[in-house]
């Protein structure tokens, strides 16, 4: 499975299909095993990311890492935050999932 690179400067890739833990994924010509299940349309790390690293998508910063991620790991609200707007979830607003 080859994730989508939206811009050459991006450090995240977008999944065109869901991946399962252990599934082979291709990143920059190298094949590695997906570290966890990730849903279609979500981002994965193009390479290892550290706390504080800017997350680049479409060649622009969309947030910062709040926890480290290895290459191929899921990048989402559990390990990144927006630097521009507050992130809200149904859980945060008290709505049912």
Place 88 in a pLDDT band, splitting at 50, 70 and 90. low
For residues 87 and 81, is the Cβ–Cβ distance under 8 A?
yes
56 contact partners, CB below 8 Å, separation of at least 6:
7, 9, 10, 11, 12, 62
Query: Averaged over 63-77, what is the pLDDT?
Result: 97
For residues 53 and 67, is the Cβ–Cβ distance under 8 A?
no
What is the pTM (predicted TM-score) of this model? 0.86
Cα distance between residue 80 and residue 69, in whole Å: 10
Q: What is the pLDDT of residues 2-61, one digit of tens each?
A: 999 999 999 999 999 999 999 999 999 999 999 999 999 999 999 999 999 999 999 999
Instruction: Give the pLDDT score at 83.
Output: 86
For residues 40 and 15, is the Cβ–Cβ distance under 8 A?
yes
């Amino acid at each position: 499975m080859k994730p989508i690179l939206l811009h050459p400067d991006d450090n995240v890739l977008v999944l065109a299909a869901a991946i399962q833990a252990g599934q082979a994924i291709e990143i920059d010509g190298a094949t590695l095993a997906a570290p966890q299940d990730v849903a279609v349309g979500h981002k994965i790390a193009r390479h290892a990311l550290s706390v504080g690293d800017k997350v680049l998508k479409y060649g622009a910063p969309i947030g910062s890492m709040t926890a480290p991620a290895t290459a191929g790991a899921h990048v989402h609200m559990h390990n990144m935050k927006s630097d521009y707007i507050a992130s809200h979830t149904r859980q945060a607003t008290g709505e049912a999932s």
